[in-house]
Structure 1
Amino acid sequence: MHVQPNTHHLPEPLATAIQDCGFFPAIVQDSIAMALAGEPVVAHLVHHEPTFVGDEVHRHLSVMVITPTRLLVGHTDESSDNPTGKVQAITSTESIALGRINSVNMTRVVADPASANGTLVETWLTIGWGTMNRIELEPAHCADPNCEADHGLSGSLVADDLTVRMSPAADGAESVAALITFGGALQLAAAGVAR
């Protein structure tokens, strides 16, 4: 059985961004087009993230698309874990209603922040919609610096469904700028602010 191409077309900037990654572009474009189902694209972000494990490279591509009603998150990985030994593409898309997004956090790390020439080192976009949470625990302390009692643990529950991390050194300044632009657009969309 052959995969039939989707009849929906992606906007040229999104299609080009996927094509430029060179990672199964036809399959990725088709997967995103099916999930869009003709809905217009407000903003998009494409992030190609190779991971090195020993002497092997594992490639992963994330495509995030904001529509007027949803956030689409597409993930594509490659796998050779099949009986034939041939490489396979594993692609999935998740559709999240904008009203379900409860957290959009942009974090920037800046070197030499006191100078006028502070340098952006890396940027993280963390998005939460209630599917996954992370618990961060640490030993609890009291105000007495001489106290040696065990005060248990304190912590926080953090929404962490998706984190995208980019740096100018690894991804290029243009990719980091695209991440910041996309994060701002998602913050507005999740708050119900029309662009």
Structure 2
Amino acid sequence: MQAPIIGQLPEPLRNSIVACGFFPDLVSESIALALAGEDLRGFLVHHEPTFTGEEVHRHLSVMLVTPTRLIVGHTDESTDNPTHSVQAITSTESVALSKINSVTVTRVVAEPQKDAGAIVETWLSIGWGTLRRIELEPAHCGDPTCDADHGMSGSAVADDLTVRMSPAADGETSVRELIAFGSTLQRSVAEAAR
């Protein structure tokens, strides 16, 4: 088997990475290595800057769905270097589609009575059992006058990956791309389960 040629990403994927302007060669190389020449069914690129005080920290996520895997790449700036030179941290994770147990696409819609409304926010949540979040709250018995301790109740929720986008922050095109990618991933996971 021949090693993948670095930089040979499908042109639309490469263009999306370059458009973010965040270490495009490094990100492309990392994603090409993880893709390893496998066919691409869909992708999503999400650039997410965060602001702390006077600093801007950038984070780029690239998600790919292939016939067999979900590939998730993350690239961050590193400001912990005492020499003050620029550094980046990049990682990729590969998850077999058969291991994914949950793909949820959530849309928040304003004025749904008007031509199905306008999307104001979207989330894509993907779970494959690596991380779980536990939410606890005091348990209640239903009697509003009761002041007894009924312990705690809660739930364990899969929390491997959540991407949130809105037209205001990310643009309508990015929101449509998130929904399309979520739909492709849902279909691919269902096919892998057969």
Assess same fold via TM > 0.5. Answer: yes
Distance in 1, matches of 2:105 and 2:140, equals 29
Distance in 2, matches of 1:80 and 1:115, equals 47
Q: Does the C-alpha gap of structure 1 residues 193 and 95 become closer, same or farther in structure 2, counting only changes over 3 Å?
A: closer
Tell me by how many angstroms 1:154 deviates: 1.3
Tell me by how many angstroms 1:21 deviates: 0.6
Which deviates more, 11-20 or 134-143? 134-143
Deviations 1:18-71 (A, max 9, x none): 011110000000000000111011100000000001110000000000011000
Give ranges in structure 1 of 5+ residues lacking alignment: none
What is aligned with 2:136?
Answer: 137
TM-score by length of 2: 0.91
CA contact (8 A) 2:110 2:118 kept: yes
SS at match of 2:122: strand
What is aligned with 2:58?
Answer: 59
CA contact (8 A) 2:97 2:192 kept: no
Which deviates more, 158-167 or 116-125? 116-125
CA contact (8 A) 1:6 1:30 kept: no
Which deviates more, 111-120 or 62-71? 111-120
Tell me by how many angstroms 1:84 deviates: 2.2
1:11-90 equivalence runs, <5 A:
11-90=10-89
CA contact (8 A) 1:8 1:38 kept: no
What is aligned with 1:168?
Answer: 167
What is aligned with 1:102?
Answer: 101
4+ runs of 1 displaced by more than 4 Å? Answer: 114-117
CA contact (8 A) 1:123 1:165 kept: yes
Question: What letter matches 2:96 in structure 1?
Answer: A
Question: What letter matches 1:48 in structure 2?
Answer: H
Aligned alpha-carbon RMSD (Å): 1.9
